[in-house]
Amino acid sequence: MAPLYSVRMRASRRGEHMSGAERLVRQEDVETVCLELLRRGRRHSRGTADALRLAVDLVEEAEIVTTALPDLLTWQVADVAAGRRAALCRLVAAGVPEAVAGAAMAALAKGAAPGGGVMRGAMLVDVHSGERLEADQARGVRVSRMDLLPELEAELQQQLAACGLNNRHVREALVLAAKVLSAPGLVAELCWSDDPDYTAGYVAAPGFGYQRFPRLKPAGDRRGGRAFFVDGRRTDVEALIRYLERTPVLVTRPGRVLPARPWQEG
């Protein structure tokens, strides 16, 4: 395997996190990707960034973990309320108690950071107690150092385009979910975007992959984020956080993009 570099971008405005991006790229692509991410970070639907941070680090080949993309299934829901009921149902199916899942969903809806702000990373929630395990509830846990093997990019875009889903939000979320689902002790993930123009979100779990809901928040809402549900009784939480934040993960195997289905309640 050719040497890879981790390229990470963070954009903020007046100290508030706005956007970020992660890539694992070959040496000859570092400059191009750096420029692409800097341009992307300057402007966001939430405003124009006044601070950009770019980090580039060589990745040791022996550290790289490989995994597969999860299968993607879209559930068609009538509105935000139906989407959240459906997402709650899938979290319960993944093994998250309803009360724990509902509390995490409510936290994302009101702003999970102190004071109702948007977290920079994800909540880490014990499925047994509902306790939040992240040390810093403003920062949370930041998943970093992951990417898709370049040879899979065209195949993934073709699959997504056939379902009308070939956009950056979906592609990047799939890669992030692939890393999260490979983590030890991970039970499920819940996410919806803090981008006010993007209303979709998903539930991902090792048992059923990535299940997407086109409406998990109202259009124009700037609140969003992620919650990782973990088995706190059997998991070394510090090791899990190190894996999510530091271990480079390269997606080398495709998943399936399945036809959308209507969600039926009850």
Residues 9-47 have pLDDT tens digits of 988 887 777 788 899 999 999 999 999 998 888 776 667
pLDDT of residue 255: 97
Average pLDDT over the chain reads 94
Q: How far apart are CA 71 and CA 78, in angstroms?
A: 23
- Mean pLDDT, range 158-185, rounded to an integer: 96
> Helix, strand, coil proportions of the chain in percent (round to 5)?
35, 30, 35
pLDDT of residue 2: 79
Phi, psi of 38 (to 5 degrees): -65, -45
pLDDT at 205 exceeding the cut of 90: yes
For the ranges 20-24, 63-67, 235-239, the lowest mean pLDDT is seen at 20-24
pLDDT of residue 46: 66
pLDDT of residue 232: 93
pLDDT at 80 exceeding the cut of 70: yes
pLDDT of residue 15: 75
Q: How far apart are CA 79 and CA 81, in angstroms?
A: 6
pLDDT of residue 48: 81
pLDDT of residue 266: 72
Name the pLDDT band for 75 (thresholds 50, 70, 90).
Answer: very high
- Mean pLDDT, range 230-252, rounded to an integer: 96
Q: What is the pLDDT of residues 178-196, one digit of tens each?
A: 999 999 999 999 999 988 9
pLDDT at 69 exceeding the cut of 80: yes
67-101 burial by CB neighbour count: b if 16+ within 10 A, else e? bebbebbbbebeebebbbebbbbbbbebebeeebb
pLDDT of residue 45: 65
Q: What is the pTM of this model?
A: 0.92
Cβ-based neighbours of 238, under 8 Å, separated by 6 or more: none
pLDDT of residue 87: 98
- Mean pLDDT, range 68-79, rounded to an integer: 98
Q: How far apart are CA 226 and CA 91, in angstroms?
A: 13
Specify whether the CB–CB gap between 109 and 119 falls below 8 A: no
Task: Report the length, in residues, of the chain.
Answer: 266
For the ranges 113-117, 210-214, 259-263, the lowest mean pLDDT is seen at 113-117
Specify whether the CB–CB gap between 119 and 136 falls below 8 A: no
Q: What is the pLDDT of residues 84-133, one digit of tens each?
A: 999 999 999 999 999 999 999 999 999 999 989 888 899 999 999 999 99
Strand order in the sheet with 65-68: 65-68, 249-253, 146-148
The position carrying tokens 């997606």 is 251
pLDDT at 265 exceeding the cut of 90: no
